[in-house]
Amino acid sequence: LHVRGIDINNAELFFDMLQVVGGGEVVSIEVLVSALLRMKGFATSIDLHSLSFEAKLASRRQQIFMQESSAKLQAIQDAVLALGQETADKGLGLQPLDSSSRSRRRSLPQQL
């Protein structure tokens, strides 16, 4: 690899990255060759900007996912609380949560 201008200082980290890209424990020859061809030489400014953009994009997607998941979880919590209240109102023996329990449970998604 060194003769080809490819210097891998941390082989274990490199292999871990290839496993993630390949989607499994085994790294296919196609994934390995593709990664090695892209690694030849020094990173250019456009390479670094591209990497930065991809990281920002992934972060934004994760942020949107977390917001949507929190909203859906809140809707589920509200439905469960309403169902508990409804069953208590019908006298089915289930006790609704007191207001302090509700506020603690509703604040959980924001704490995550």
25-30 average pLDDT score: 83
Q: Is the pLDDT of residue 62 over 70?
A: yes
Residues 88 and 1: their CA atoms lie apart, in Å, by 71
Helix axes 45-89, 99-111, angle to 10 degrees: 170
Better pLDDT: 100 or 13: 13
Percent of the chain with pLDDT over 90: 23
Better pLDDT: 16 or 39: 16
Report how far apart, in Å, the C-alpha atoms of 55 and of each of 34, 58, 60, 69, 77 are: 20, 5, 9, 21, 32
Identify the band that residue 1 occupies on the pLDDT scale cut at 50, 70 and 90.
Answer: low
The one-letter code for the residue type at 48 is L
21-45 average pLDDT score: 77
pLDDT of the residue at 92: 61
- How is residue 87 written in tokens? 């069953």
Identify the band that residue 45 occupies on the pLDDT scale cut at 50, 70 and 90.
Answer: confident
User: For the chain, give me the number of helices (H) and strands (E)?
Assistant: 4, 0
pLDDT of the residue at 5: 61
Asked if residues 78 and 43 have their Cβ atoms less than 8 Å apart, the reply is: no
